[in-house]
């Protein structure tokens, strides 16, 4: 288990840096910080390998933090984002249909 802090930058939507809370941004290369923009803390929580995260495996985050001091989550590619939106719409439509059938 590791207490992780997540930062968002101001240069790209949906790009996040995960770091060990105790270390903060010390291990982030300067050129990455320039690309990332002004970091703003958005969340701090205990992370274990079994924790469910929305777009990445917790084990990948923990391994990257251990190896390089941070994990950079990139924005989803447009096709993946569109596919996720379509899937959510289909699921919502099915739930509505099921509710109306009852």
Q: CATH number, domain at 65? A: 3.10.510.20
Q: 44: which DSSP letter?
A: E
Q: What is the pLDDT of residues 35-77, one digit of tens each?
A: 999 999 999 999 999 999 988 999 999 999 999 999 999 987 7
Threshold 0.75, pTM exceeds: no
Structure tokens at 65: 């933090």
Q: Are 29 and 69 in contact (CB under 8 A)?
A: no
| 57 falls within a domain | yes
| Residue 15 lies in domain | 2-76
Could you give the CA distance from residue 20 to residue 26 in angstroms, rounded to a whole number? 10
Q: How confident is the model at residue 89 (pLDDT cuts 50, 70, 90)?
A: confident
Could you give the CA distance from residue 19 to residue 40 in angstroms, rounded to a whole number? 12
CA of 57: how far to CAs of 15, 34, 39, 99, in Å? Answer: 16, 26, 22, 33
Q: Are 35 and 10 in contact (CB under 8 A)?
A: no
Could you give the number of structural domains in the chain?
A: 1
| 94 falls within a domain | no
| 98 falls within a domain | no
Query: How many other CB atoms are found less than 10 A from the CB of residue 25?
Result: 16
| 100 falls within a domain | no
The arithmetic mean of pLDDT across residues 66-90, rounded, is 83
Q: Are 18 and 61 in contact (CB under 8 A)?
A: yes
């Amino acid at each position: 288990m590791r207490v992780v802090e997540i930062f968002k930058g101001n240069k790209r939507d949906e790009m996040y840096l995960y770091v060990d809370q105790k270390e903060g941004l010390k291990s982030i290369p300067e050129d990455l910080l320039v690309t990332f923009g002004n970091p703003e803390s958005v969340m701090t929580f205990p992370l274990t390998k079994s924790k469910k995260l929305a777009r990445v495996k917790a084990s990948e985050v923990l391994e990257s933090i251990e190896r390089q001091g941070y994990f950079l989550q990139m924005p989803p590619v447009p096709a993946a984002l569109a596919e996720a939106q379509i899937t959510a719409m289909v699921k919502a439509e099915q739930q509505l249909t099921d509710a109306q059938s009852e």
